Amino acid sequence: MRTTDDLREVIRAEFGRLDPVDPELNAHLEERALGAVHGLDPEAGADVALAVVEGAHELVTATPPTARPTVGELSARQLLAAALRPRRTTEPRS
Amino acid sequence: MSEALPDGTRLLHIGPHKTGTTSVQRAFWDTRELLPEHGVVWAGGLAHPMSAAMAAAGNQLATGQQGSGDERWTELATEVRESTARMTVVSSEFFSDAPQERVAAIVKALGPETRVVITLRPVTRILASQWQQYMQNQPMVKYVGNPDYEGWLDLVLNHPEQQDVSPSFWRRHRHDRLVEKWAEAIGPERLVIVVVDDARPRDILTSFEQLTGLPVGLLQPRDASANRSLTLPEVTMLRAFNAGWMERGWSAADYTRYVRFGAVRHLMTRTPAPGEPPIRTPSWAVERANEIGAEMIANIARTGVRVDGDLALLATAEPRSVGDNPAVVDLPADVVGRFAAGLAKVIAETPARPAPAARRAGPLETSVRADRAMRTAAATGDPRPVAELSRLRLLRAVAGRVRRRVAE
């Protein structure tokens, strides 16, 4: 007789097989999948998969914009706009 | 043995869907480098020029920008028309979706040497396969009331005139009308039907070898397991997932990228256990489909088109699995695990840059791309805070970017 613990074990194994393209994202989505396990029927299985997509939505909407953006985060156009904006920097005049 | 088509032929294979098209396309694509020495060219630069064919038929993918497929169709048609090869082959089942007025335009675009090949398979063997394919694209297809397989069969077979559920089914699989439509546009003498027999899977490739004048045996079938149909547990879970997706109002473009061409393909990499139930077609549906098949044979015979294979099969064949489907479906754990991990896989593989201009990204994909771009830049880019740099240093950073771009 299979249990939800067996299903969690299989989910861990399937996520463990993925290429580590983005381990942080994978870990977050795996956690969401495991947290959504509540049964063994097709509807419960679908809920696990839906939780993965919900987890992705959460992650990308929850990432706060950096309060102090770095040069690397901005495009050339954004850097140019920042340079031309009237501003006061903390850097001493060179 | 089929007689080869004349030199200079542009062979247009239009499917329809579920008639061995993937098998033909993969075999030609895998052999494409050997074809020219036999005077044959596989057109389109892809195993399957899907977006070009969809545009030719007046359709497009949810992930395509308006007009992007038109450009690909124009390029494909030009390549085919201007080809100097003895035989130029183009294949997509999406050509079969073309309405009458587009059929003539397609034939004209490919040039006067065009000949059309239609592969036909008994409807009894198409039903389950086509239904589960619709379920892999459910948010994009017309499917009012969300009927299960038996309900869908009732609507399609007993109420063929209804337009609320899968109206494309009979446009594709009323094979007599499909043949008549293309024969009218191109002339029956320029049309060949190849009847696909599941019991002899190599025959379809042999027919194409003979039609194109290739040595028999040159086209090699690829492992068909990657193109298998979903099992009953898999499709039952997918339908529940689709209902949840649509209830949440998530986008069709995100579904196309992450589910249809993402997680479902990852799910297909699992090997179902021997006892895992397939989708069974009830015997009443087999009988009804064969009655329709008999009508189709009579109408096709009247057109006078050349037939390669046994046309009678269209009214006598049984599907692989006949019977009633169980009311309660046992879901193997690895179906859930593989599908959920497949979603994570395709989301994680989203590139850290905006989508190309020709593609339409859904809201989730757009956000994931932006998020990944930001995280990548934060991890690998210049870490100096913008607010702490002078105007001069910022301008130097811009100039550095421009120099690097020019040097690339």
Q: Does one domain contain both B64 and B173?
A: yes
Number of domains in chain B: 2
Residue of A nearest to B338 (CA): A14
**Of the ranges A65-69, B122-126, B380-384, B395-399, the best mean pLDDT one:** B122-126
Q: Which has more pLDDT, B18 or A66? A: B18
Q: How far apart are CA B32 and CA B34, in angstroms?
A: 5
Q: Does one domain contain both B138 and B286?
A: yes
* pLDDT band at residue A1 under the 50/70/90 scheme: low
Position A81 scores a pLDDT of 86
* Domain boundaries of chain A, sorted by first residue: 1-88
Q: How far apart are CA B308 and CA B144, in angstroms?
A: 38
Q: Which has more pLDDT, A65 or B273? A: B273
End position of a domain, from candidates B260, B294, B326: B326
Instruction: Tell me the average pLDDT across B327-356.
Output: 94
Position B406 scores a pLDDT of 80
Instruction: Tell me the average pLDDT across A19-36.
Output: 94
Shortest Cα distance, chain B CAs vs residue A52, angstroms: 7
* pLDDT band at residue A47 under the 50/70/90 scheme: very high
Q: How far apart are CA A15 and CA A34, in angstroms?
A: 11
Q: Is B246 a member of any domain?
A: no
List the single residue in A45, A53, A84 with the smallest CB-CB distance to B335. A45
Per DSSP, the residues of B172-230 read HH-HHHHHHHHHHHH-GGGEEEEE--TTSTTHHHHHHHHHHTPPTT-S-PPPGGGGPPP
Position B2 scores a pLDDT of 75
Q: Does one domain contain both B320 and B176?
A: yes
Q: How far apart are CA A10 and CA A6, in angstroms?
A: 6
Q: Which has more pLDDT, B226 or B24? A: B24
Contact yes or no for B388 and A29 at CB 8 A: no
Contact B124, B317 (CB under 8 A): yes
Q: Is the pLDDT of residue A93 over 60?
A: no
By the CB < 8 Å criterion, does B370 face chain A? Answer: yes
Q: Is the pLDDT of residue B311 over 60?
A: yes
Q: Is B338 a member of any domain?
A: no
Lowest mean pLDDT among A65-69, B72-76, B159-163, B319-323: A65-69
By the CB < 8 Å criterion, does B390 face chain A? Answer: yes
Q: Does one domain contain both B157 and B82?
A: yes
Position B227 scores a pLDDT of 77
Q: Is B141 a member of any domain?
A: yes
List the single residue in B339, B381, B395 with the smallest CB-CB distance to A83. B395
Chain B hits for A51, CB-CB cut-off 8 Å, are 340
Q: Is B360 a member of any domain?
A: yes
CATH number at residue B210: 3.40.50.300
Domain that holds residue B391: 350-407
Instruction: Tell me the average pLDDT across B373-397.
Output: 81
Instruction: Tell me the average pLDDT across B368-396.
Output: 82
Contact yes or no for A45 and B385 at CB 8 A: no
Contact A71, B399 (CB under 8 A): no
Instruction: Tell me the average pLDDT across B385-395.
Output: 85
Q: Which has more pLDDT, B67 or B217? A: B217
pLDDT tens-digit series, residues B99-138: 999 999 999 999 999 999 999 999 999 999 999 999 999 9
Q: Is B312 a member of any domain?
A: yes
Instruction: Tell me the average pLDDT across B167-183.
Output: 96
Shortest Cα distance, chain A CAs vs residue B94, angstroms: 30
Q: Is B343 a member of any domain?
A: no
pLDDT tens-digit series, residues B362-373: 999 999 998 888
Q: Is B402 a member of any domain?
A: yes
Q: Is B67 a member of any domain?
A: yes
Q: Does one domain contain both B288 and B398?
A: no
Shortest Cα distance, chain A CAs vs residue B226, angstroms: 18
Closest residue by Cα to residue B199 from B319, B24, B321, B279 = B319
Contact B254, B62 (CB under 8 A): no
User: Could you tell me the sign of the dihedral formed by the alpha carbons of B149, B155, B156, B158, in that order?
Assistant: positive
Within 13 Å, how many C-alpha atoms sit on residue B157's CB side?
25
By percentage, how much of chain B surpasses pLDDT 70?
A: 99
Lowest mean pLDDT among B190-194, B214-218, B228-232, B399-403: B399-403
Chain B hits for A84, CB-CB cut-off 8 Å, are 391
List the single residue in B336, B380, B395 with the smallest CB-CB distance to A48. B336
Contact yes or no for A49 and B241 at CB 8 A: yes
Q: Is the pLDDT of residue B340 over 60?
A: yes
Q: How far apart are CA B234 and CA B330, in angstroms?
A: 10
Position B225 scores a pLDDT of 67
Q: Does one domain contain both B361 and B310?
A: no
Position B62 scores a pLDDT of 77
